[in-house]
Amino acid sequence: MALFEGVGVQVAYDVVGSGPPVLLLHGFPQCRAMWAPIVRVLAKHFTCITADLRGYGESRGPVGPQAMSFREMASDQMALMRHLGHETFHLVGHDRGGRTAHRLALDHPDAVRSLTVMDIVPTHLLLTDLRHDVARAYYHWFFLANPTGLPEHMIGLDPDTYYESCLTGWGPDGLKAFDADLLDIYRMHWRKPEVTHAMCNDYRAGIDVDIALDAKDLDRRVDCPSLVVHGADGLMDKSYDVAESWADRLSNMRAAALPGGHFFPDTHPRETADALLSFLTDLA
């Protein structure tokens, strides 16, 4: 592990491989370790940088609701890549990492060679056109955003049960589909009260900060080559036309469905790596 000391933030990251740089960002409730099986494939062709989002895993910094916006998390990652000497790079994000990646591509368009978002619809769309079935399945958006501290208290009583219910609740894959060693790493981090607090504030920021920022950018498009990947058996795919949801936000887009639910990078890492490799090598 390496640690980048930014302005008031510490970003934990790893670098593997050689070739054009690719920054890979994890989602909730995970950490950068999720990319390990995928990086083993990509690193033969690319320099792979995996980093923990602010407050997640081993990254630390201000984690109040205002500080956990996708803009702030994207700024952390942009500073990291500049620190590493990469003024331009390919960008991949799953879940909250995908939302951070989208914001980074909007705020720093000249830095992003390509954008890949995994199993998400745009934040503004999800929060402003919320259907009952989505609200029920994705209740955690609103549970975690409760401002009283109640989510932290309740999760803290049994974090493994809560977070494992998230891993298994958004698709058909049971816990046995996840790599046991990676699960141990996830558990090690989500058992820390400060990590749960940061993750709750991530979701508070989604409602309190990010939706307003996204509303101002509804008429903007990301122009770099983009890939939208979604789990063919996941709740997002059942609730939305995921590719269509990005059509007016990404001007140069292709899409792919992969086997599995929301956490297909964990449960189907080889297929995920192959999809990324095909997309990225076409751009070389």
Catalytic residue IDs: 95, 262
Q: Are strands 253-258 and 226-231 parallel, antiparallel or unpaired?
A: parallel
Residue 77 · residue 104 · CB < 8 Å: yes
Query: The tokens of 37 are what?
Result: 């099986």
Query: The tokens of 266 are what?
Result: 């964990």
The residues, ordered by sequence, that sit 6+ positions from 73 with a Cβ below 8 Å of its Cβ are: 53, 54, 100, 103, 202
Find the helix packing angle between 180-190 and 193-205, rounded to 10°.
Answer: 80
Count of alpha carbons within 13 angstroms of residue 227, beta-carbon side: 25
Count of alpha carbons within 13 angstroms of residue 50, beta-carbon side: 23
The residue assigned the tokens 């790599």 is 179
Alpha carbon distances (Å) from 52 to 2, 191, 257: 11, 16, 26
- Distance in Å from the first CA to the final CA of the chain: 28
Q: Which residue pairs, CB below 8 angstroms and at least 24 apart, start in 254-257?
A: 254/225, 254/226, 254/227, 254/228, 254/279, 255/227, 255/228, 255/229, 255/230, 256/227, 256/228, 256/229, 256/230, 257/229, 257/230, 257/231, 257/232
Alpha carbon dihedral 135, 167, 227, 276, in 10-degree steps, equals 180
